[in-house]
Amino acid sequence: MKIFAAFCALNIAILSVSALHPQREREPPEFRVEILRGEKGPTYTITNLSGRPVGALVMEVSSSSQPARKVKKVWDSILEGHRPIEPGAGLSRPVYELAFSPSPDRIKVIAAVWADGETFGAPASVNLILNNRALRASEYEDAAGILQRGLSQNWTRDQYEQAFRDKPDTGAVYSVRTALSATLKTAQTPQAFNQTMQFLLSSFQRLSKELRKVKPI
């Protein structure tokens, strides 16, 4: 009985301490999401109410007419060629870009990657951003490797076209093919052509570095 009484007293003491000093969960950063009607269709605006720039977001999209159906959508400033959303600033996009039917009336930010590489949100949601970034980074690195080889060996336009001919049509490969076509008119000399290829190489290396600048979850 004495042991049982002591055990009960210990539990009461622990509960009393917990009541006096409740454990506080870290409050998530705040984002305000508004859906606005317009002449060209509805748009949604995400306002960053936190204290630091955000580079990528995961949105949970749904409609009150089908509340059980929820879809996650990713917006990434690096892949969109957009600056991070600064504190107090907002991002406005057409609702149709979410490709959700019926038209959504509920959009919630559930995960984010800040501009400094730190993350917020459940790992499964954050990984939607991180996995996509890792894939895109590897694509830029692969294209950069080919460009580096071409520059070091002073390739002609035909050699570059041959090297990229059978590559999947990723964003990086599309950029190279577009540049190769444009240089038929814009780069009349070998020096000008090589400058364009060097610009692409530097851009791909910078993008790859930015995409991999993420701190562990």
What stretch of H or E contains 94? Answer: strand 90-94
Give one word for 121, left, alpha or beta, with left for phi > 0 and alpha for psi -120 to 50.
left
Q: How distant, in Å, are the alpha carbons of 11, 19, 149 from that of 15?
A: 6, 6, 67
Short-list 142, 137, 206, CA closest to 173:
142
Per-residue pLDDT tens over the stretch 4-27 = 344 343 343 333 333 333 333 344
Per-residue pLDDT, averaged over 33-52, amounts to: 92
Which is more confidently placed, 214 or 145? 145
**Where in the chain are all domains bearing CATH 2.60.40?**
31-121
**Fold (CATH) for 31-121:** Immunoglobulin-like (2.60.40)
117 — phi, psi (to 5°)?
A: 100, -10
The helix/strand count (H/E) of the chain reads as: 6, 7
Confidence at residue 100, expressed as pLDDT on a 0 to 100 scale? 92
Separation in Å, CA 35 to CA 25, 58, 97, 106: 29, 16, 13, 8
Per the prediction, the chain carries an average pLDDT of 87
| Phi/psi at 36 (5° precision) | -120, 140
Q: 129-169 pLDDT, tens per residue?
A: 999 999 999 999 999 999 999 999 999 999 999 999 999 99
Burial (Cβ within 10 Å: 0-12, 13-18, ≥19) of residue 75: buried
At residue 170, the pLDDT reads 95
| pLDDT, position 10 | 35
